Amino acid sequence: MEATHIGMGTVMAHAAYGPNAQAALQAVTHEARRLEQLLSRFVPDSDVAAINRTAGMARQTVSTETLAVLTQAQALSALCGGAFDITVAPLVDLWDVQHATAPPAAARIRRAAALVDYRDLTLCQNTFEAMLRRPGQALDLGGIGKGYASDAFMRLLMSMGITSAYANLGGNVSTLGARPDGAPWRVGIRHPRGDGLLCAVEMIGQAVVTSGDYERFFIDRRGKRYHHILDPRAGRPAAKGLISATVVAPEAMAADALSTALLASGMEAGLDWFSQYGAAQAILIDERLNLYCSKGLGGCLQTVAGVKPILI
C-alpha cells in the first residue's frame, strides 16, 4: 500500500504493508504536515520562526520536540566541526540558488558568513527556552528536517504495528524492517551527472540519505555551478571535491546532517570526523566520478557495470 504527497518542499512517497497499512499511511501524512508546521522557518507561528524573529533580543519558549531537534542538531554540528550548521539561514537567503543567476558580492558573503555559528544558539533544557545570540542570525533546518521527519514516521508506523515500510522524502529513504517478502530493501543512488543510478545499497531497517551538488543549483554565465550546500566558513557552495555524499545509518536525522556535512567538508576533513561516528557508513562520489565506500558496506553495495568502489 502506498501514499504520495507534497511536503517540506519535496515529493514524499511512503509504503507500508500489513493489515493496518492504510490507517498507518494516513497517520504519516498527517504527521508530515504537523512537523512542517513545527520546524519550517517559513511558517510564521513555528517555534523556529519565533526564534529567528527575536534573534539577539529575547528568548523563546519552545516545545519539548523542537528543543530535542535543536539539541541534537547542535551536537551533530559539533561532531563535524561546524561543516553542518543550522544557523546557515543568512547564507542560504543571500545565495538563493533557486532564483539567482550570479553569485553575490564578496562583502555581502563575508557579512552573512560572520552570522553563521551554531554555538550562538543558546538552549535551556530546564526552562525550554531557545535564543540566537546576535541580531540577524537565523535557523534553517533544511539540512536535517527531512531526516527528523522520516525518523518520526518510522516510530509512528512501528507504534501502529507495522513491521515493513519505507518513506522516501525526495530521495532521503528510511526503512522499517525488511521488505514484506523478507528480502532487504534496495535503495538506488543517482548518477550525479547523468540519468539513472550509479549504484545501489541493500539493507534492512536503515536510512539512506544523499546530499548532492546536482539537486538544487544554478549555473552562471561563465558556466560555473553554484549549488545549495554551503560551506559555512567559506560562505559559498561547498567546493571540496565531493559532488555526492550518502550516509547509511539507523537514524535518518543523523544521516541527513552528516551527508550534508560530508559534502561541505570534502573527503579528507570529512573522513576525519566521520570515522568518530561509529553507527554510520558512507558512499562518496568525487568530481572525477570516483566512488568511495565505507568498508562496512562492501557486501551491500551494487554498482553499475564498470564502476569499482574504492574502500575507505
Residues that bind ligand ADP in the complex, under the rule CB under 6 A = 84-86, 88, 92, 140, 142-143, 172, 211, 215, 228-230, 232, 256, 260, 264
Burial class (CB within 10 angstroms; exposed 0-12, middle 13-18, buried 19+) of 304: middle
As a whole number of Å, the end-to-end CA separation of the chain is 38
143 binds Mg ion, rule: CB under 5 A? yes
Q: Which three cell numbers stand for residue 19?
A: 493489515
As measured in angstroms, the least distance from the Cβ of 257 to Mg ion is 6
Stretch that binds Mg ion, among 18-26, 101-109, 138-146, 231-239 (CB under 5 A): 138-146
Identify which of residues 177 and 232 has a Cβ nearer to Mg ion in the complex: 232
Burial class (CB within 10 angstroms; exposed 0-12, middle 13-18, buried 19+) of 158: middle
Whole-number Å distance between alpha carbons of 244 and 211: 6
As measured in angstroms, the least distance from the Cβ of 181 to ligand ADP is 29
As measured in angstroms, the least distance from the Cβ of 178 to ligand ADP is 25
Q: Give the residue at shortest CB distance from Mg ion.
A: 260
Draw the binding track, 247-266, toward Mg ion (x: CB under 5 A; -: no contact).
Answer: ---------x---x------
As measured in angstroms, the least distance from the Cβ of 211 to ligand ADP is 3
For Mg ion (CB under 5 A), the number of binding residues is 3
Whole-number Å distance between alpha carbons of 46 and 250: 28
230 binds, among Mg ion, ligand ADP, none (CB under 5 to 8 A by kind): ligand ADP
Q: Which residues bind Mg ion (CB under 5 A)?
A: 143, 256, 260
